[in-house]
A = this chain, B = another copy of it.
């Protein structure tokens, strides 16, 4: 299971019961929180997301609608007696803001909080089952996107065949990694005879807040699912540019040029009550698009 649950889909000012940005990405047993607008901990309760599964938090940039809920989660985790270490990836200046707020409250967290300052593009988490990469987006202040990628899965064994060739079970791990097998009689059994390829590794790119810039295309090339902001409808392209945000059409074009599998759009301006035009406009450029709706989980 690899999915993205939307906890907040609105831009700066909350409106129409839409909340500021936060997403929970789940990959098998792992849970990642990406951005954390005000009220994220209440949204997590509402949608029955448990804190204690989260070991990594990624903050794209230091506009409040992307991080004002962070201190609340960090301290609630403490009050709930979390013990597991927590890894936080964020722009460097956030570290001091957190430390200062803990200090004035005379609070010591009961768990280790590892702060990883974002300073350059590249792999920031390298786990045996997944990796996380950071990339720069184009916003008014330094802003980071993130790609979470499954690692290449081992091949699947065709058990009937493997048994027929009397391949010892102890050798199965080597088969999964692509090795051929030589029988006692010296006959070579090619790997493809007894295994099939697993599904291709999936990937999710979160492109944070950004204006339209074709340099993004290379950064999110061929991901399975791309989240791209659409703060405005197409008629407000100038305003989008002036405020370092994107329109529906622009998000669709990035998705199309990058050849992504699917596009998810969000970060809707508070000026819009209804969202159907966002979907229609974006689909006119890139058909396989979904609106990011709070409480909904989208498969990667």
Contact = CB atoms under 8 A, between A and B. Distances in A.
A38 B69 contact: yes
Interface stretch (A94-102, A121-129, A223-231): A94-102
A104 B69 CA distance: 16
A61 to B, nearest CB: 9
B42 A14 contact: yes
Given A12-B79, A64-B71, A104-B97, A41 B38 contact: yes
Q: Which of A15, A94, A104, A105 has the most CB of B within 10 A?
A: A104
Contacts of A64: 71-72, 75, 101, 105
A215 to B, nearest CB: 22
Contacts of A93: 100, 104
Interface residues on A, range: 20 to 34
A76 B93 CA distance: 22
Q: Which of A62, A68, A71 has the most CB of B within 10 A?
A: A68
Contacts of A71: 64, 68
A106 interface: yes
Contacts of A76: 12-14
A72 B38 contact: yes
A64 B97 CA distance: 13
A256 interface: no
A13 B100 CA distance: 20
A141 B105 contact: yes
A30 interface: no
Nearest to A141: B106
Given A12-B76, A45-B14, A106 B140 contact: yes
Nearest to A43: B39
A72 B100 CA distance: 18
Given A39-B42, A91-B104, 6 more contacts: A19-B42, A38-B42, A38-B68, A38-B69, A64-B72, A97-B97
